Amino acid sequence: MNQLRQVPPSPEVTAYLVNEYQRNWKSAGFTYSQFLIARGYQNPAHNHPGMDDHVTGMPPAGAELIHTPRKPVTGELHVKVLLVDFSDMPGVLSKEHYEDLLFSRNTHTTGSMADYYDEVSRGLVQIQGEVHGWLRMPQTYSYYTNGNSGLTDKLNREYYPRDARKLAEDAVDAALAHGVSFPSQLDALDNGTITALFIVHAGRGAEKILPPLSGNHIWSHKWQMVKPKEVAPGLTAATYLMVPQEALLGVCAHELGHLAFQWDDFYDPNYDADGDHWDGNGMWDVMASGSYAGREMRPVHPAGLHKLQHGWIEGEKIHQSRSGLTLLPVTSADGKVVKIKGPGYTGKQYLLLENRIREKFDGELPGEGLLVWRIDEDYDQTKSAAPGMYLIQADGNEDLNDPNDRNSGDRGDPFPGSSSKTELLDHGRISTSFPGQPSGISLKNIAFDPETKEIRLDIIIEERT
């Protein structure tokens, strides 16, 4: 069964925790995950199908690794937003605030969620929605948080109905009691459930609060109700997204990635419980740390693999050598990603190339240039030595492999980048090869034009008999 993930703590909280671990706990022999559990940061999604993953209906059986969305999403995506508050935590911000943050077009100062997905999908997805509330809940805020951020405790024990799932169920009941309608177009995935149900709660997000106070607020997450609610004939509310009233664009874009676009988290899902802890895709992907870019108001684009899965970007497949290949930025109208299969690759292994520059929602990227992703769809993200998706970092520093260096991406990651790295061979400290035999793929003469922002390179693929 897939190991499932939580929204990561904010960068500020992460920095505090890393400092405390290194100063007081590491020398005592504690692993980072043991330290996090002791400080109240046990991963609430661990062993809970449907939480912060791609699951949108009943959890599937069997192992799932890099997940391929069951249905590409294009066209209108209808979002239902319910604002909920409590007798001990009343709502503060207006309904119009959320309409502007989520659904306005080209008017929000830093861009709305509709603007974000319009850009990253190249106009193929149009986010629309309605906001309802504030709706007063039958229980207090402290009832639902239960000292566990509304999720599970340090030992991964559940406390339903004293958790966020019951809050989601109560929110839907309150909406129905207030005459809120749930039309059939809310089901974008044709599975009989609302695809994008947002629940915005009064109170703060636990992921932005230091322990021990974080347990008194709800951790932003995507999960499934224990008792799904029928809201119309043939339509059920089962899966939901929950964020605090202070939520900014980054967490909303990230969680909608789970909810509607069926993406998993692309950072280490189990901390170092397996002896290996790393940053995953870091600041290069909205489904990793990139949701916090621009102080969480300008999240970066999804990595090229995610866009390719929904047909939001052209993917060119290359099986033979090519000289003088030109790649435009993925943020341009004609930008594309390149998928390369080599003679040394097996199964679902390949390289994915994309040109990323600092413009539009990618304006807060840590660097510019050619990103080279090594993909193996038969693996997940838990092991930095053999993950499902791995960014080959041009400078060879492998900063993404070290979660304690406060570096989730830098100018040395792309090619040529700050290290002026103009080639990538199938052997050496960094290479195009997976563990095992050489891939037979080399990238040479990699050049980035600072004026046109184009990448040019030669691709050499060995011919093997």
Confidence of residue 227 (pLDDT cuts 50, 70, 90): very high
pLDDT at residue 46 is higher than 60: no
Q: What are the residues whose beta carbons fall under 8 Å from the beta carbon of 358, sequence distance 6 or more?
A: 364, 365, 368
- What's the pLDDT band for 277 if we cut at 50, 70, 90? low
* pLDDT for the residue numbered 57: 44
Residue 153 CA to chain centroid, in angstroms?
23
| Cα–Cα distance measured from residue 29 to residue 25, given in angstroms and rounded to the nearest whole number | 7
- Contact present, 432 and 425 (Cβ < 8 Å): yes
Residue 24 has pLDDT above 70, yes or no: no
pLDDT above 60: residue 55? no
Q: Which of 350, 401, 354 is nearest to 379 (CA)?
A: 350
Q: Using the predicted structure, report yes or no on whether residue 61 has a pLDDT greater than 50.
A: no
Percentage of the residues of the chain whose pLDDT score is greater than 70: 80
Q: Which residues contact 302 (CB under 8 A, 6 or more apart)?
A: 120, 257, 261, 263, 285, 286, 287
- By C-alpha distance, which of 115, 173, 121, 167 is closest to 142? 167
Average pLDDT on 32-36 reads: 63
- Tokens matching residue 201: 């709660």
Q: What whole-number distance in Å separates Cα of residue 433 and Cα of residue 427?
A: 7
Of 434, 265, 431, which Cα lies nearest the Cα of 347?
Answer: 434
Q: Are 292 and 285 in contact (CB under 8 A)?
A: no
* pLDDT higher at 181 or 150: 181
Tokens at residue 423, please?
A: 């080639």
Strand partners, 176: none
CA distance 31 to 273: 8
Q: Give 209's pLDDT tier (boundaries 50, 70, 90).
A: confident
- For 44, counting Cβ atoms within 10 Å of its Cβ (0-12 exposed, 13-18 middle, 19+ buried), the class is buried
Work out the mean pLDDT of the chain and round it to a whole number.
86
Give the mean model confidence (pLDDT) for residues 264-278: 61
What is the rounded CA–CA span in Å between residue 176 and residue 179? 5
The pTM assigned to this predicted structure is 0.86
- 207: CB partners within 8 A, 6+ apart: 7, 8, 9, 10, 13, 214, 219, 220
H or E element, residue 127: strand 125-136
Residue 442 has pLDDT above 80, yes or no: yes
Percent with pLDDT over 90 in the chain: 66
Looking at residue 68, its pLDDT comes to: 72
Confidence check: pLDDT of 50 > 60: no
The pair of structure tokens assigned to 238 is 């089962």
SS3 402: coil
Cβ neighbours of residue 98 closer than 8 Å, sequence gap 6 or more: 81, 83, 131, 200
In this predicted structure, the answer to whether residue 386 has a pLDDT above a threshold of 90 is: no
**How confident is the model at residue 53, as a pLDDT?**
44
pLDDT confidence of residue 3: 31
Buried b (16+ CB within 10 A) or exposed e, 345-356: beeebbbbbbbb
DSSP letters of 403-439? TTSS-S--TTSSBSGGGT---B-SSSSS-SPPSSS--
Per-residue model confidence as pLDDT tens digits over 318-368: 999 999 999 999 999 999 999 999 999 988 999 999 999 999 999 999 999
CA atoms 361, 363, 366, 370: torsion sign: positive
pLDDT of 41: 56
Whether residue 5 has pLDDT greater than 90: no
Q: Output the pLDDT for position 47.
A: 43
Among 143-152, 364-373, 432-441, top mean pLDDT goes to: 364-373
82-91, 202-211, 219-228, 353-362, range with the lowest pLDDT: 202-211
Residue 156 banded pLDDT, cuts 50, 70, 90: confident
Residue holding tokens 């990635």? 257
